[in-house]
Amino acid sequence: MSVTAYQGRSITVRIEPVVLPDGRQIELDVVRHPGASAVVPFETDDVVLLIRQFRHCADGMIWEIPAGKLDGDTPEVCAAKELEEEAGRRAGRLERLGSVWTSPGFTDEVIHLFAAFDLEAIPPRPEEDEIIEVVPTPLAAALEMVWSGELRDAKSALALVHAARHRGMLG
């Protein structure tokens, strides 16, 4: 029988009985998450919008792309909403890039990755806890930030790699 150890605003931590493939039975702590979407906004053919966002768990400002929790929306609706809220852009077109497990050793969170094109500037609507700076960045420079370790957010790094491949920059 599964037991809820903690119920928060964004996650649920459960202690779950598991039968391993070899037949052993164990209990695991599992973080249940509704999933999220992340979007690489293309301002032009070769310029993307990165955001610098305050993240308490990372002890300060980090480089990311717009992203957020599904909250009952489809991944596409979530990506469009987060782009508007965090970057102040409305997408004329969204293209799916893939999806990633964030850390399947302890959570079921899946983040859906998108690229956004044909952007229209609108007023951003950051949430109360969001401190965000939008920074137009050449895609090649954003990739260099990944390779150098300056951009360490996994969802953002992988989304940028997918976007670069989608644009024909990577094999």
- pLDDT beyond 80 at 171: no
Same domain, 67 and 86: yes
Annotated catalytic residue within 84, 128, 144, 150: 128
- pLDDT beyond 80 at 42: yes
- pLDDT beyond 90 at 153: yes
Supply the mean pLDDT for the chain. 96
Please give the average per-residue pLDDT across 23-44, as a whole number: 97
- Please name the residues in contact with 124: beta carbons below 8 A apart, sequence gap of 6 or more: 84, 85, 86, 87, 88, 132, 134
Amino acid at 104: P
Q: pTM, whole model, 2 decimals?
A: 0.93
Range of the domain at 25: 1-32
Q: Does 171 map to a domain?
A: no
- pLDDT beyond 90 at 127: no
Same domain, 28 and 41: no
Same domain, 49 and 70: yes
Number of domains, the chain: 2
Q: Does 25 map to a domain?
A: yes
Place of tokens 């951003």: 124
Same domain, 133 and 71: yes
Q: Is 43 assigned a catalytic role?
A: no
Q: List the CATH number of the domain containing 103.
A: 3.90.79.10
Same domain, 22 and 97: no
Same domain, 130 and 48: yes
- Report the C-alpha gap between 19 and 5 in whole angstroms: 20
- pLDDT beyond 80 at 13: yes
3-class DSSP assignment, residue 152 = coil
Contact between 124 and 141 under an 8 Å Cβ cutoff? The reply is no
Residue 122 vs residue 1, higher pLDDT: 122
Share of the chain above pLDDT 90, in %: 92
- Report the C-alpha gap between 156 and 28 in whole angstroms: 28
Same domain, 46 and 14: no
Q: Does 51 map to a domain?
A: yes
Same domain, 23 and 43: no
Please give the average per-residue pLDDT across 71-95, as a whole number: 97
